[in-house]
Amino acid sequence: MSAYTIALIPAFTLGAFPGFFAAIQTLLLRKYGDWSLLAAPLVWAGSEFLRFHLTGIGWNCFGYSQAFQTAIVWPSKFGGVYLISALLVLLPAAVLITLKKRNSPQIATVVVALLLCLTVYLAGKESTVSAEATPSSNAISAVAVQAVAPVGGESFQKLRESFKRYKDITRENVAKLKSQKPVLVIWPETPFNFDYELDTLLRLDFEAFVRENNINLMFNVSTETNTGSRNSVILINNQGERLGKYDKIHLMPFGEYVPMRKYLPFDIPVLAGDFQPGTDYSVMKLENLVLGASICWEAAFPDVTRQQSLAGANVLVNVADDAWFGNTPEPRQHLAHIVLRTVETGLPMYRVTNSGITARIRPNGQVLDETALFQNAWRIWQIEASSAKPTFYVQYGDIFAILSLLFTTVFLVLPKSIFAKRRKDARRA
């Protein structure tokens, strides 16, 4: 019962932000009249931005609803998901103005809004038909492994069987490639909770495995620091030498840590493990690839992929374990978030999951090679470094959302008399 009670706190907190939008928009309507409905897209974008930065939860912003419409999401490379949300609010706001008065200026407003939305769609439609370039000789063969390890207090024997399945699928697919160069194998976030740095026998096992199969391996482990355990992704080469490590910065509330634990009168256990957050947006280098990795829940955090892009990443990888969700809409919602991260940065994304949906995503947001949920699967990809320049969003971040919030604040505090005087002067003229 206490867990359900605690769950009500974030539910009420997050639910307050649509109410905040409605309250602000009502104040603007009373102050400036029907034309203030044109401010609704900016008020909405500002409220989503506030929700994310005040609560740390950016899940399911309005713009994510269009993640699989590549013709619509391309503006996110300028303004992030908040710009997509604003565009979705723009047209109904303009239509509402027309329905309220139906005179020439209002109709013109709808026409302009409609033309803007149509232009966005047609420009995006053009980008989706572009053919993929043939991989060059510099491309690295990669195997993505989805072997469905069970979660939720499974026995050691079950996890051991799953670990063996990951190895078997890896061997089978690497053998198919018959590559002379080491193949990159990507394993997803899993419930194994390997203690890679402290378990010498486990480390030796991994080293033998990569040598035997001539692979570079990216995999999820727990790592120890002076402040505690971290949820990490490690990349090792075909000799077992570490090439890089990324520690998850944004941990899942109640899954990997308990918010405000010291203030709670009772203990709440975490689902996956009790971790400390990472502090560095590190990237990993493999030949000509500079890999930026994010872990699971971080799909909803634009700062990870953006900062890794600024650090030189030319390929993005997201590893996840959505088995906790079961056969529900959440895995596809999770995928929607990583699609927006791809378009924002303009870099190719390779998503590898424990239980689906594994996929690769083109820089324009097109999702390819999807796997089914809860089926053992694998994908073989040719991964090539992107030569694309940093997008506007990578360079300037959430400037659109910040300006939206600033605009809303200014119009809330400005005296109504300023605009009333201008309207009177215009009528006299």
Whether 73 is covered by a domain: the verdict is yes
The confidence band for 94, taking pLDDT boundaries of 50, 70 and 90, is: confident
- Which residue is listed with tokens 């469905």? 148
Is the separation of the CB atoms in 147 and 219 below 8 Å?
Answer: no
* Sequence-ordered alpha helix ranges (H) in 138-199: 156-177
Instruction: Please say if the pLDDT value at position 282 is more than 90.
Output: yes
Looking at the fold, whether 67 and 199 belong to one and the same domain comes out as: no
Interatomic CA distance for residues 31 and 415, integer angstroms:
9
The confidence band for 115, taking pLDDT boundaries of 50, 70 and 90, is: confident
Range ranked top by mean pLDDT from 178-192, 227-241, 295-309: 295-309
Whether 356 is covered by a domain: the verdict is yes
- Which residue is listed with tokens 């355990």? 229
Looking at the fold, whether 179 and 117 belong to one and the same domain comes out as: no
pLDDT for res 265: 58
Looking at the fold, whether 384 and 402 belong to one and the same domain comes out as: no
Interatomic CA distance for residues 298 and 292, integer angstroms:
12
Is the separation of the CB atoms in 23 and 50 below 8 Å?
Answer: no
pLDDT for res 429: 45
Looking at the fold, whether 236 and 206 belong to one and the same domain comes out as: yes
Looking at the fold, whether 365 and 419 belong to one and the same domain comes out as: no
Q: Which of 62-71, 303-312, 321-330 shows the lowest per-residue confidence on average (mean pLDDT)?
A: 321-330
For the chain, the domain total comes to: 2
pLDDT for res 84: 96
The confidence band for 159, taking pLDDT boundaries of 50, 70 and 90, is: confident
Q: Which tens digit of pLDDT belongs to each residue from 345-363?
A: 999 999 999 998 999 999 9
Q: Which of 78-87, 136-145, 155-164 shows the lowest per-residue confidence on average (mean pLDDT)?
A: 155-164
Instruction: Please say if the pLDDT value at position 125 is more than 50.
Output: yes
Looking at the fold, whether 59 and 122 belong to one and the same domain comes out as: yes
Instruction: Please say if the pLDDT value at position 426 is more than 50.
Output: no
Whether 200 is covered by a domain: the verdict is yes
Q: Which of 64-68, 150-154, 221-225 shows the lowest per-residue confidence on average (mean pLDDT)?
A: 150-154
Whether 350 is covered by a domain: the verdict is yes
pLDDT: which is higher, 96 or 372 = 372
| Amino acid in position 227 | T
**Percentage, residues of the chain above pLDDT 90:** 56
The per-residue DSSP string of 238-268 comes to TTS-EEEEEE-SSPPBTTTB-TTGGG-SS--
pLDDT for res 253: 78
Looking at the fold, whether 239 and 370 belong to one and the same domain comes out as: yes
Whether 368 is covered by a domain: the verdict is yes
Range ranked top by mean pLDDT from 102-111, 123-132, 166-175, 410-419: 166-175
Q: Beta strand 215-225 with 183-186: parallel, antiparallel or unpaired? A: parallel
- Classify the C-alpha dihedral 207-210-215-216 as positive or negative: negative
pLDDT for res 398: 96
Looking at the fold, whether 125 and 249 belong to one and the same domain comes out as: no
Q: Which tens digit of pLDDT belongs to each residue from 10-69?
A: 788 888 888 889 999 999 988 888 778 888 999 999 999 999 999 888 899 999 999 999
Looking at the fold, whether 184 and 77 belong to one and the same domain comes out as: no
Long-range contacts of the stretch 16-23 (C-beta < 8 A, 24+): 17/47, 17/48, 17/50, 17/51, 18/47, 20/47, 20/50, 21/47
Is the separation of the CB atoms in 372 and 332 below 8 Å?
Answer: no
pLDDT for res 147: 93
Looking at the fold, whether 116 and 199 belong to one and the same domain comes out as: no
Whether 321 is covered by a domain: the verdict is yes
The residues facing 143 across adjacent strands are 185, 380
Q: Residue 97 belongs to what domain range? A: 2-130+398-428
The confidence band for 325, taking pLDDT boundaries of 50, 70 and 90, is: confident
**Percentage, residues of the chain above pLDDT 70:** 86
Is the separation of the CB atoms in 246 and 304 below 8 Å?
Answer: no
352: helix, strand or coil: strand
Residue whose C-alpha is closest to residue 56's, from 97, 14, 87? 14
Interatomic CA distance for residues 278 and 225, integer angstroms:
10
Instruction: Please say if the pLDDT value at position 126 is more than 70.
Output: no
Looking at the fold, whether 37 and 168 belong to one and the same domain comes out as: no
| Amino acid in position 415 | P
Q: Which tens digit of pLDDT belongs to each residue from 3-23?
A: 566 667 778 888 888 888 999
Mean pLDDT for all residues in the chain: 86
Instruction: Please say if the pLDDT value at position 264 is more than 80.
Output: no
Containing H/E element for 221?
Answer: strand 215-225
CATH of the domain at 164: 3.60.110.10
